């Protein structure tokens, strides 16, 4: 017995508004993109025949294929870096820091920027990475470099640094959750049975946190693949990834081409999520 009766009509009616909202604002628009990408003819109109011409035109351009490969490469790189760093930070915060006060303070320092604007955080990288920026000043101060490094800003290096800073939390959060749900007894049992720490980590901790790693990687994958803000602000429009291409076509009023790139982006994302679901069963994680 609870304030809602099982399988009652009330439950259905309560669920309806949010469900309809998502159908109207997310599902229908995404389906429309697929439809628009198939519009043929010379003018943009729903009355034209359905064809795959737009895809053929897009995929026959070698530059665009390179751009897709480049985006995937960048995504893989950021996934690797944020995955390793995120795991280290999660492990340190949950396992190694034993004082509750310190843990809370470090955790807040880690999480708080997530609640501020991504756009502003990306813009903040411009004065940080610039020729007279803080990073160059600091490196020169330590004596590591003699002259400021120009390649930090408006380059792939700068974009990658900003993306690592923005997305490491996504890779780390699910791992923190999984680490917290491991019963300490498991580790103690292994220790009692004389397993060295590295074996305990490899055979017990790592497999139990694997779902967290995978979920974190999916989140980073989805975000980096569609990221265009970091590329425009820190990259200074010198580079383009798939997200920027969508925006370029849209600003050029090439609606059907925008739709084609959007559908390809969607397919890449679905493929990524499908691979992740083969490795872990996400529904089991919450229980």
Partner 1 sequence: MHWKTRSRLTSWLLGIVTIGFLLFQWAPMFTMFTLSFAGENGGTTFPMNGVSLHWYHKLWEADLFDDFKPPMLRSFLLALACSATTVVLSVCAAQAMRGRFRGNGLYFYLLLLGLMAPGILVGFGFAILTRLLGIEGAWNTTAYVVHVSWALPFGFLTMLAVFNRFDPRLEEAALTLGANRVTAFRRITWPIILPGIIGTALFGFSLSYDEYARTLFTAGSDGTLPLAVMATLDRQLTPELYAIGTVTTAMSLTVIALCVIGFWLRARALRGRPS
Minimum CB separation from partner 1 for residue 9, in Å?
Answer: 8
CB of 26 to partner 1, least distance (A): 5
> Between 156-180 and 206-226, two packed helices, what is the crossing angle to 10 degrees?
150
Residue closer to partner 1 (CB basis): 11 or 275: 11
CA distances to 44, 68, 160, 240 from 63, in Å: 25, 9, 22, 11
Smallest separation (angstroms) from partner 1 to the CB of 74? 15
Shortest approach of partner 1 to residue 18 CB, angstroms?
4
Which stretches of the chain are DSSP H helices?
Answer: 9-22, 28-37, 53-59, 62-91, 100-111, 118-129, 134-142, 156-180, 184-192, 197-200, 206-226, 229-233, 242-251, 255-279, 282-285
Nearer to partner 1, 60 or 98 (CB): 98
CA 135 to chain centre: 25
State the nearest-atom distance from the C-beta of 196 to partner 1, in Å: 9
Residue closer to partner 1 by CB (options 12, 52) is 12
Question: CA torsion, points 195, 285, 169, 233, in degrees to nearest 10?
Answer: 140
Q: Which of 73, 68, 75 is nearest to 260 (CA)?
A: 68
Distance in angstroms between the alpha carbons of the first and the last residue of the chain: 21
Toward partner 1, which CB reaches closer, 60 or 286? 286
Return the exposure string of 258-280: e unless at least 16 CB atoms fall within 10 Å of the residue's CB, then b.
Answer: bbbbbbbbeebeeebeeebeeeb
CB of 250 to partner 1, least distance (A): 6
Q: With respect to partner 1, which residue has the nearer C-beta, 62 or 202?
A: 202
What is the torsional sign of CA 110, 116, 122, 128?
Answer: negative
In this complex, which beta carbon is closest to partner 1, that of residue 60 or of residue 147?
Answer: 147
């Amino acid at each position: 017995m609870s304030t809602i009766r099982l399988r009652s009509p009330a439950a259905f009616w309560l669920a309806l508004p949010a469900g309809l909202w998502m159908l109207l604002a997310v599902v229908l628009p995404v389906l429309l993109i697929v439809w628009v990408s198939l519009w043929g003819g010379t003018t943009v109109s729903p009355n034209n025949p359905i064809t795959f011409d737009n895809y053929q035109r897009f995929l026959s351009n070698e530059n665009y294929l390179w751009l897709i490969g480049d985006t995937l490469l960048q995504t893989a790189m950021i996934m690797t870096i944020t995955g390793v760093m995120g795991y280290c930070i999660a492990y340190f915060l949950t396992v190694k820091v034993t004082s509750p006060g310190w843990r809370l303070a470090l955790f807040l320092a880690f999480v708080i920027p997530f609640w501020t604007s991504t756009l502003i955080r990306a813009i903040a990288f411009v004065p940080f990475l610039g020729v007279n920026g803080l990073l160059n000043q600091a490196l020169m101060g330590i004596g590591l470099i003699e002259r400021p490094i120009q390649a930090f800003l408006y380059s792939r290096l700068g974009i990658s640094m900003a993306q690592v800073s923005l997305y490491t939390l996504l890779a780390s959060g699910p791992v923190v959750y999984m680490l917290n749900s491991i019963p300490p007894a498991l580790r103690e049992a292994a220790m009692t049975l004389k397993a060295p720490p590295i074996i305990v980590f490899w055979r017990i901790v790592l497999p139990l946190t694997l779902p967290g790693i995978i979920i974190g990687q999916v989140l980073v994958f989805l975000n980096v693949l569609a990221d265009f803000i970091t590329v425009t602000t820190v990259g200074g429009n010198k580079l383009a990834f798939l997200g920027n291409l969508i925006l370029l076509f849209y600003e050029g009023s090439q609606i059907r081409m925008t739709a084609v790139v959007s559908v390809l982006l969607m397919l890449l994302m679905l493929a990524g999520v499908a691979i992740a679901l083969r490795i872990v069963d996400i529904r089991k994680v919450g229980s």
